[in-house]
Amino acid sequence: MTNKNSKKDYAKTLRTVRKIHRTAGALLFSFFIVIAITGLLLGWKKNSNGIILPKSYQGTSTNLEHWLPLDTLQIIAFKTLRDSIDSSIDLSLQRIDARPKKGMIKFVFDNHYWGIQLDGATGDVLAITKRRSDFFENIHDGSILDIIFGTKGEIIKLIYTSIMGTALLVFTITGFWLWYGPKRMKRKSIKIN
């Protein structure tokens, strides 16, 4: 009698695990598709021939003593962005990425996906780039919603990544149990008989 109850309890547990796995999958299906596609794109960004991640160009001097002052380079980058893209474009900087080994400096902007690459020594414009990889990363981690809604502290990103991380953990555990559980149940039924 104990063996039969144990087997029934085990089968009930497997049905519950299957239901959790199926329900969570149905609810989060579209999010998993988005994460999978953007993850693939981000994985390939350096091998996309500049389509996803812009190519970094070579400047004329790798010696920082020959470089123009940072504020001069910033003025050139701002003027280039306004003259080439839009005269009223937002100039808020996300980061300035100096690449001394390439003799180049990148200005990456905060509220859009444009970037300017300048020769550190001459200030010549090496490239005006669209940073698609940053866009895909913002979709991948949910921070695109913080940008759209203007939330501070990336609270939507925090909630989104917590839900998706927990979901991945639940899928891993329930998926393993759905694979291992029937094997264990079959092995136990052989030992019982």
Q: What is the pLDDT along the chain (193 residues), one digit of tens a residue?
A: 456 667 788 788 888 988 988 898 888 899 999 999 999 999 999 999 999 999 999 999 999 999 999 999 999 999 999 999 999 999 999 999 999 999 999 999 988 999 999 999 999 999 999 999 999 999 999 999 998 998 988 999 999 999 999 999 998 998 898 888 888 777 766 554 4
Structure confidence at residue 5 (pLDDT): 64
* pLDDT at residue 50 in the model: 92
* pLDDT for 84: 97
And the tokens for 138? Answer: 């913002």
- pLDDT (0 to 100) of residue 153: 87
pLDDT value of position 111: 84
Q: Which of 120, 130, 119 is nearest to 45 (CA)?
A: 130
100: its two tokens: 């001394």
> Side chain identity at 172, as an amino acid letter?
T
Task: Estimate to the nearest angstrom the gap between the alpha carbon of 18 and the chain centroid.
Answer: 30
Spatial CB neighbours of 139, under 8 Å, sequence gap ≥ 6? 34, 38
Residues in the chain: 193
